[in-house]
Structure formats: C-alpha cells, structure tokens
Amino acid sequence: MVQLVEDKLDLDTYLELRESVHFHRLSRDQARKGLNNSLYTLVAYLDGRAVGMGRIVGDGAIICYVQDLIIRPEVQGRGIGGLILETLKEFVINEGFPGTLMMFDLMCARGRERFYKKHGFISRPTKELGPGMIQYLEIPDKK
C-alpha cells in the first residue's frame, strides 16, 4: 500500500529520486534552497521505501507549478504518479481564493504527455496560448 507523506521531503531522498530518473544533477545547496522554497512537497512510500515525489512551486494565488513529479522507473504504471498528481492538485485548489482561477502548470518530460492529458492538462500551443518556453542560465562561480 502506498503511503503519502506531506512536507517531509528530505534532501537525500530528493536527490536520490531525481537521480533514479536521470534528472540533471543539482548541488546540495541548490537542492536545499529549492526544497525550502517549495510551497508543498509530497513523497510516496511503498513498503517503507520512497518511490515517488512531487512538489509545488509558485505564489499560491495566481499560479502554481508541478515541479519534479518523479516515480522510480521500477514502480511506474501502478497509479502512484496519478495519486501524487491528484493530491498536488487538491493542495493547489485549497490554496486558491474562492471564486477565482488558479493557473496550474508544468513542464512535461518528452513522452509523458498522455499521462498529463489524462489528468486534465492541455498541450501548448493552442489557438489562444503560445508555446511554453524555457531558458537555462549558467551561474558563474563567485570569486
């Protein structure tokens, strides 16, 4: 049985889960600051082992992003990702102001579009919305 634990994602578990799906490496300081600035984190445990996670970043009023939705490859396809995503969505709904719209966004890994569409996300661009865009900034070493 999957157990979900809110706001208890530790640094080592975060880095280990990222590594399990070959996300780019983060420094420990970078990962720590990212976790500390998350609005919400969720870890899925199966038989006492962390097998998945998700976190929400954003302002909690106008926009929230799903960040780092990760499921270990050996347990993908068991519904854990959907359970995490729906729980993240509930958090965002509860954060919002009644009678308003909250943008709930993510950057989808290639090949995962069908999963997110199944959970109500739309692909961009659309007739009304332009494409999502990204830029990686290299931060120089301080002297």
| C-beta of residue 87 within 8 angstroms of C-beta of residue 97 | no
Mind listing the domains of the chain with CATH numbers? 2-118 (3.40.630.30)
Is the pTM above the cut of 0.75? yes
Residues 6+ apart with CB under 8 A from 10: none
The amino acid sitting at 68 is D
pLDDT for the residue 136:
87
Indicate the range of 14-23, 25-34, 102-111 predicted with least confidence.
Answer: 102-111
Q: Which of 134, 139, 87, 80 is nearest to 108 (CA)?
A: 134
